[in-house]
Chain A
């Protein structure tokens, strides 16, 4: 092949300019304005049609769904555990019991979280029969069971507005994820164990960390508007010799055969681990 002669720079620049706008034919980027207009029109129509089709199919699909219950719940057969307050970074609590600033955030979070559990907010809720599943599938409007804040004892925030943080006995609330239709078997209770012995002693509110069956099942946001999930407060009395030490605590749900707490992959399924380090 004959060697391609390199075009002079000026010429190729002129060609580019010509391509971008050709004053003779009125072409812009190789097409006339009319041509561009028609292409634009075509894609407008084409994408308009696709958008309409997409919207329509989505609408049809949404019509098949119920407002109350998701079609499938197989991806969350067993609930996860979570704590409150949840530190921003990881599940690690660092505070100084003599410095109220260091735990102010935890306290506020707890206060806010327990806001909805105030008696004033629970006026519509009923007292349910303890110890058994509160089946109300026939009822059109599902009732919520009352959760008495006083059950949380020292961690209710009523007696100690600092939830024990100032005394070296911080409270952490453990809750179980809401799952529609979940009916725990047996007597579910939260049990926490510190990794290292002798550094901390743990108190549970309600006693033994029990979660009452009457709070189950959950019927979903729209049917069960005032539902309050049961809480278990864990009060950690940190031994004086364990200050400035990182204490790892793992909480698990026990006593219920259908609530998993030992999944290899999901570290939060029926269990949760967090760290506490307190200084003076």
Chain B
């Protein structure tokens, strides 16, 4: 296992905290450097030699040959290899015995795994593309803003912590946690404004990001659920093969076959049980689904991950960008003592709220003018929401907001020429500008200001109500406070707006404004209103979350953002549903301290990263178990990993979304890591199994549906494939027991497994979802297996046996009509196969040479083959549904199934009549009527299965089984009934 992330944080702390505690001069001492001059070049070279370049060590790449070998022999392929090995052994035995036909028999058993490709597609790994700049100090200021001369340069930490807002940096030690303290800046973060000088304390892999990267590479890839299922399936098939093999070894020994012959039989049986075509089919099915998912913006890197998504039971989702649109948008307005809601959808073109009030006119003017953001030129034809803006997030939001409502903002600004401006900074927390007005009659200047609401209010003495300035009394201030709290409580960033028309006599047209000396009033202004902004949820997300919920998937939000914002977004997208409460909510409602609340009553929980840090894993487990709706806020990347592990301890299959480098350990740890295609870093994409091309949470839900569908369909495919395995095995068993001529050849079996059956089994991957696919719980990893007892028993012991019976009828018919009645065939094996006997007598007294008998035997093979093919058509049709009638599902809805059926019959026709004269393939032309011998049995299979489905629909639970045998139809049902689902209850709609 990898180091516990908690302890990793501590290790960070020990070295980093020490540094963060030291003063500048102490640091200079410690690192032998100078804050002014930096290191001497000799010293720098020395350190470079000691520590290496300031670059991350790329993850150890697996050699291509190892990858290739893994593909060749991993998982399912091993079964085929063992089969191949056994074939050579039995070939060797036969050759040593001097059996001429060794070449005939054995070459057929050898499967061809390498050509089929392997189950896993190679992962599309590329190396980390970290820049290996060797910077000795923080990067130089990358903004050319001369006016930004501020003491606390903000740093964009988003790639490290996921915080969407820049964090300010200063020389003060503010926090024990190195990630939180203000006097450390990190590798891979950027200074968005201003300048800063610092001392490098760690480089390369010893940086925080380096540790995260090594953490990610230390997290082993867990086996995907489908890989586990395939392994289980291999065990099952191997178990069946070996038990039947050993059983018949004992039988053949006690029937006085030679030991060597018995061993060959044993090997033959084992190999006959290997479904050679399944590997190809499963891979193709998964690829098809992956392709379909790619069309829906889910790019799957690892084929097996396709299914993992379907069995997902918990999604740990990021907030920013995944659940939200990742752009600030004006959500609410407050003016005239009233809160108005704005449209926050992705493609807004108008705003519906009441815009008739003169206060709004004044407010809109401030919003438009007191704003430095601008559209990049040349985007006039784009929708407003899609245009690129130069400016920070809030200004952008305001610009777009006013552009939507007022139209051309740029020309409005041009008409109201700006004469002076104080841009926003974090000390005075306001932004101010002075404009000429667009009214030629009005020669006054307009001073507009926006900023933190409380700061703005401090500077105001009046407030505008319905266009009239009224004195700001305590009652109105109270109203302001209430509105401010309410908007803030919704997790929104609130800005206050005020203005002042400067008196014309004091500020004539020629007045020179000086922003340094502030020769104009900045108090006693007129308060106009509040605007609040939020990164709104994507419009498709609430629906997707509710779909997840009905699909039994728990959605957990894990974000670096503030709890209030996180909770607000969680509520608006339905992660916390409208009716559920957190412990804090209950405490507030009942007016009791939080400690007294019964924690079991709260279905929702908002957990702060700080709380999480102090929690034991038992406490975390308890939260994950007891609350259905959970939000983790202010979490660090390491904590994300802890949360993922906690979920996995619950036995859940966890999907994690992430974009930053910091997310990569969690992405790797998760059963399925989902990286963001647009916002995601390369490291995240590397660590993930899947990439969401549109960063949209809703795409995950589509992926879940596809994943579940492929699981269902793979089940159908395997059931289909396993069935005919029995029809291929039975002849061999009967051949041993009854000593009849061999009913089906090995080459023929391969032509079924790798020929006629391939396209139909792939066609099942195109089967449409049954209507309840998103209404059932995620499958239980331990209980709902891909191949369970029911499926195996139903395929092997029921449908498979029926197929064998049908095929044997054809076989006996062919022999009987050529002169060998069934009674004659029993016990003839040794003489029949004897090369030297060329006057073998049939039931009518005719005599056959060895070759004539062999030719008849091949006709028997062909007949058996054709019968299996015909019955596989019925098998294919019955596998279309699990419990619905075929007539309900529609015979023709899945066109690909028909392509499968026609290809199946087409290939059989070509083999029989086209290649019927190539003796090496052991096919012979077949009389036309033999194609129909098995048809009644095919119909029987269909009817039988319809009856089974009818019974399990009528009597889904064993508690309402009037017929004694129905209970045992359950035993036969492919899928255990989902008792939770109302449709499947006794009073189902089918009755």
The stretch of A164-172, A202-210, A261-269 in contact with B is A261-269
Q: Are B801 and A47 in contact (CB under 8 A)?
A: yes
Q: Which residues of B contact A19 (CB under 8 A)?
A: none
Chain B 636-653, CB-CB to A under 8 Å as 1, else 0, gives 000000000100110000
Chain B 1-13, CB-CB to A under 8 Å as 1, else 0, gives 1000000000000
Asked if A220 lies at the interface with its beta carbon under 8 angstroms from chain B, I say yes
Asked if B797 lies at the interface with its beta carbon under 8 angstroms from chain A, I say yes
Contact of B812 among A39, A61, A178 (CB under 8 A): A61
Nearest opposing residue in chain B for A176, CB measure = B847
Complex: A268 Cα to B802 Cα, angstroms:
39
Q: Which residues of B contact A180 (CB under 8 A)?
A: 844-846
Q: Which residues of B contact A82 (CB under 8 A)?
A: 838-839, 847
The stretch of A7-15, A51-59, A130-138, A152-160 in contact with B is A51-59
Asked if B65 lies at the interface with its beta carbon under 8 angstroms from chain A, I say no
Complex: A38 Cα to B961 Cα, angstroms:
14
Give chain A interface residues in 70-100, CB to chain B under 8 Å: 70-73, 75-76, 79-82, 86, 89-91
Nearest opposing residue in chain A for B808, CB measure = A54
Complex: A76 Cα to B355 Cα, angstroms:
100
Complex: A267 Cα to B848 Cα, angstroms:
12
Shortest distance from the beta carbon of B615 to any chain A beta carbon, whole Å: 16
Q: Are A221 and B844 in contact (CB under 8 A)?
A: yes
The stretch of B381-389, B513-521, B965-973 in contact with A is B965-973
Q: Which residues of B contact A90 (CB under 8 A)?
A: 836
Q: Are B813 and A61 in contact (CB under 8 A)?
A: yes
Q: Are B845 and A221 in contact (CB under 8 A)?
A: yes
Asked if B353 lies at the interface with its beta carbon under 8 angstroms from chain A, I say no
Q: Are B817 and A65 in contact (CB under 8 A)?
A: yes
Complex: A144 Cα to B222 Cα, angstroms:
82
Shortest distance from the beta carbon of A260 to any chain B beta carbon, whole Å: 11
Chain A 206-224, CB-CB to B under 8 Å as 1, else 0, gives 0000000000001011101
Asked if B55 lies at the interface with its beta carbon under 8 angstroms from chain A, I say no
> Interface size of A by Cβ–Cβ distance < 8 Å?
52
Given contacts A38-B968, A57-B809, A62-B821, contact A50 B801 (CB under 8 A): yes
Nearest opposing residue in chain A for B644, CB measure = A1
Chain B 829-852, CB-CB to A under 8 Å as 1, else 0, gives 000000011110111111111111
Asked if B805 lies at the interface with its beta carbon under 8 angstroms from chain A, I say yes
Contact of B822 among A58, A70, A266, A268 (CB under 8 A): A58
Given contacts A179-B846, A220-B845, contact A265 B812 (CB under 8 A): no
Q: Which residues of B contact A70 (CB under 8 A)?
A: 817-819, 842-844, 846
Nearest opposing residue in chain B for A38, CB measure = B968
Q: Are A80 and B852 in contact (CB under 8 A)?
A: yes
Asked if B29 lies at the interface with its beta carbon under 8 angstroms from chain A, I say no
Q: Which residues of B contact A81 (CB under 8 A)?
A: 838
Q: Are A179 and B847 in contact (CB under 8 A)?
A: yes
Given contacts A46-B798, A75-B852, A86-B836, contact A54 B859 (CB under 8 A): no
Give chain B interface residues in 783-809, CB to chain A under 8 Å: 797-798, 801-802, 805, 808-809
Nearest opposing residue in chain A for B850, CB measure = A268
Given contacts A2-B645, A58-B812, contact A75 B821 (CB under 8 A): no
Q: Which residues of B contact A76 (CB under 8 A)?
A: 846, 848, 852
Asked if B964 lies at the interface with its beta carbon under 8 angstroms from chain A, I say yes
Q: Which residues of A contact B1 (CB under 8 A)?
A: 3
> Interface size of B by Cβ–Cβ distance < 8 Å?
49
Q: Are A269 and B851 in contact (CB under 8 A)?
A: yes
Contact of B851 among A50, A89, A175, A265 (CB under 8 A): A265
Contact of A175 among B671, B801, B839, B849 (CB under 8 A): B839
Q: Are A62 and B846 in contact (CB under 8 A)?
A: no
Complex: A218 Cα to B844 Cα, angstroms:
11
Q: Are A177 and B847 in contact (CB under 8 A)?
A: yes
Complex: A92 Cα to B968 Cα, angstroms:
62
Contact of B968 among A39, A50, A268 (CB under 8 A): A39
Q: Are B819 and A73 in contact (CB under 8 A)?
A: yes
Q: Which residues of A contact B896 (CB under 8 A)?
A: none
Complex: A138 Cα to B811 Cα, angstroms:
34
Asked if B919 lies at the interface with its beta carbon under 8 angstroms from chain A, I say yes
Q: Which residues of B contact A272 (CB under 8 A)?
A: 838
Contact of B818 among A1, A2, A75 (CB under 8 A): A75
Complex: A38 Cα to B964 Cα, angstroms:
8
Among A43, A75, A218, A267, chain B packs the most CB atoms within 10 A around the CB of A75
Complex: A69 Cα to B846 Cα, angstroms:
10
Asked if A127 lies at the interface with its beta carbon under 8 angstroms from chain B, I say no
Shortest distance from the beta carbon of A232 to any chain B beta carbon, whole Å: 15
Nearest opposing residue in chain B for A64, CB measure = B817
Contact of A80 among B817, B819, B844, B847 (CB under 8 A): B847
Chain B 217-230, CB-CB to A under 8 Å as 1, else 0, gives 00000100000000
Asked if B856 lies at the interface with its beta carbon under 8 angstroms from chain A, I say yes
Q: Which residues of B contact A16 (CB under 8 A)?
A: none
Contact of A69 among B648, B822, B844, B965 (CB under 8 A): B844
Shortest distance from the beta carbon of A4 to any chain B beta carbon, whole Å: 11
Q: Which residues of A contact B847 (CB under 8 A)?
A: 79-80, 82, 177-179
Shortest distance from the beta carbon of A226 to any chain B beta carbon, whole Å: 12
Asked if A151 lies at the interface with its beta carbon under 8 angstroms from chain B, I say no
Among B797, B798, B822, B844, chain A packs the most CB atoms within 10 A around the CB of B844
Q: Are A269 and B801 in contact (CB under 8 A)?
A: no
Q: Are A65 and B846 in contact (CB under 8 A)?
A: no
Complex: A179 Cα to B845 Cα, angstroms:
8
Asked if B507 lies at the interface with its beta carbon under 8 angstroms from chain A, I say no
Complex: A248 Cα to B911 Cα, angstroms:
40
Asked if B620 lies at the interface with its beta carbon under 8 angstroms from chain A, I say no
Given contacts A38-B968, A42-B968, A62-B821, contact A178 B805 (CB under 8 A): no
Among B839, B842, B848, B965, chain A packs the most CB atoms within 10 A around the CB of B839
Q: Which residues of A contact B852 (CB under 8 A)?
A: 75-76, 80, 266, 269
Asked if A185 lies at the interface with its beta carbon under 8 angstroms from chain B, I say no
Q: Are A50 and B802 in contact (CB under 8 A)?
A: yes
Q: Which residues of A contact B850 (CB under 8 A)?
A: 266, 268
Asked if A115 lies at the interface with its beta carbon under 8 angstroms from chain B, I say no
Q: Are B821 and A71 in contact (CB under 8 A)?
A: no
Shortest distance from the beta carbon of A97 to any chain B beta carbon, whole Å: 24
Asked if B816 lies at the interface with its beta carbon under 8 angstroms from chain A, I say yes
Given contacts A2-B648, A72-B818, contact A91 B836 (CB under 8 A): yes
Q: Which residues of A contact B822 (CB under 8 A)?
A: 58, 62
Chain B 394-405, CB-CB to A under 8 Å as 1, else 0, gives 000000000000
Among A38, A76, A218, A263, chain B packs the most CB atoms within 10 A around the CB of A76
Nearest opposing residue in chain A for B842, CB measure = A70
Shortest distance from the beta carbon of A214 to any chain B beta carbon, whole Å: 18
Asked if A68 lies at the interface with its beta carbon under 8 angstroms from chain B, I say yes
Nearest opposing residue in chain A for B856, CB measure = A75
Q: Which residues of A contact B813 (CB under 8 A)?
A: 61
Nearest opposing residue in chain B for A3, CB measure = B1
Chain B 524-545, CB-CB to A under 8 Å as 1, else 0, gives 0000000000000000000000
Q: Are A266 and B809 in contact (CB under 8 A)?
A: no
Complex: A183 Cα to B500 Cα, angstroms:
125
Q: Which residues of A contact B645 (CB under 8 A)?
A: 1-2
Q: Are A177 and B848 in contact (CB under 8 A)?
A: yes
Complex: A65 Cα to B809 Cα, angstroms:
15
Complex: A43 Cα to B802 Cα, angstroms:
12
Return 15 A-B CB contacts under 8 Å, by A number: A2-B649, A39-B971, A45-B965, A47-B801, A53-B940, A54-B808, A58-B809, A61-B813, A73-B846, A75-B818, A75-B848, A86-B837, A177-B847, A178-B845, A180-B846
By a beta-carbon cutoff of 8 Å, the part of chain B in contact with chain A is: 1, 222, 645, 648-649, 671, 797-798, 801-802, 805, 808-809, 812-813, 816-819, 821-822, 836-839, 841-852, 855-856, 859, 919, 927, 936, 940, 964-965, 967-968, 971
- 13 new A-B contacts, CB < 8 A, other than A91-B836, A221-B845, are A1-B671, A2-B648, A38-B964, A65-B821, A70-B842, A70-B843, A70-B846, A71-B816, A80-B852, A177-B839, A178-B847, A221-B843, A263-B851
Nearest first, the 4 A-B pairs at minimum CB distance are A221-B845, A80-B849, A177-B847, A70-B819
